[in-house]
Amino acid sequence: MTVVVPLTPDLWPALEELLDHGGPAARCWCMAYRVGPSYRTRPAEQNRADLRAVVEDGPPPGLLAFRDDVAVGWCQVTPRADVPALDRQWRVRAVDDVPVWAITCFYVRKGHRRAGVMRALIGGALDLARAAGAPAVEAYPLDGALSPSATSMGYATTFAAAGFVEVARRSPERPIMRYVLR
């Protein structure tokens, strides 16, 4: 069973252990859409420290998924205003002035992929945004039929199965999908 909870300061060690296995997650620390492309030239430790400060300041910037007390997944979900670099990319710039929440990153531990972790994280993201009074949640996944690339933002089919609908598509491979909460 997967348990999804907001990332609070007391859970920081679990996120650190999850992401600290090398690869893109250990480099970015979910700073790409917070600071823009400069996250690539900053030391990974600076990105880590900046995310930790976000967690310490609150509210939770995302969710952790646990199985048997082991963190197996991460999802960054925040008000879109907290990830301003989204608007620097024409493919995913704001569709309208609705103050949506944005799902901008997933990481699922090897050995737990294709086992429902992302689906559980999406459900948790909707619950977190709903509890905060958000009118809608957006996602910016890849259309796997058009782009076989791996993606930290998920695939359109996963979001469609969760009830998200496409609200814009400025490039063939990247739809903007939205789930209306109220």
Helix axis angle, 12-19 to 44-57, nearest 10°:
150
The span from the CA of 19 to the CA of 15, in Å, is: 6
Write down the pLDDT at residue 36: 86
CATH number of the domain that residue 119 is part of? 3.40.630.30
- pLDDT 10s digits, 130-141: 999 999 999 999
The span from the CA of 127 to the CA of 107, in Å, is: 19
Write down the pLDDT at residue 150: 67
Instruction: State the total domains in the chain.
Output: 1
Give the residue numbers spanning the domain of 127. Answer: 3-180
The span from the CA of 110 to the CA of 103, in Å, is: 21
Write down the pLDDT at residue 21: 73
Q: Which has the higher per-residue pLDDT, 27 or 65?
A: 65
Question: Could you tell me the pTM of the whole model?
Answer: 0.94
User: Which tokens belong to 141?
Assistant: 């996944």
Answer whether residue 119 shows pLDDT above 70: yes
Confidence of residue 181 (pLDDT cuts 50, 70, 90): very high
The span from the CA of 179 to the CA of 67, in Å, is: 26
- pLDDT 10s digits, 53-65: 999 999 999 999 9
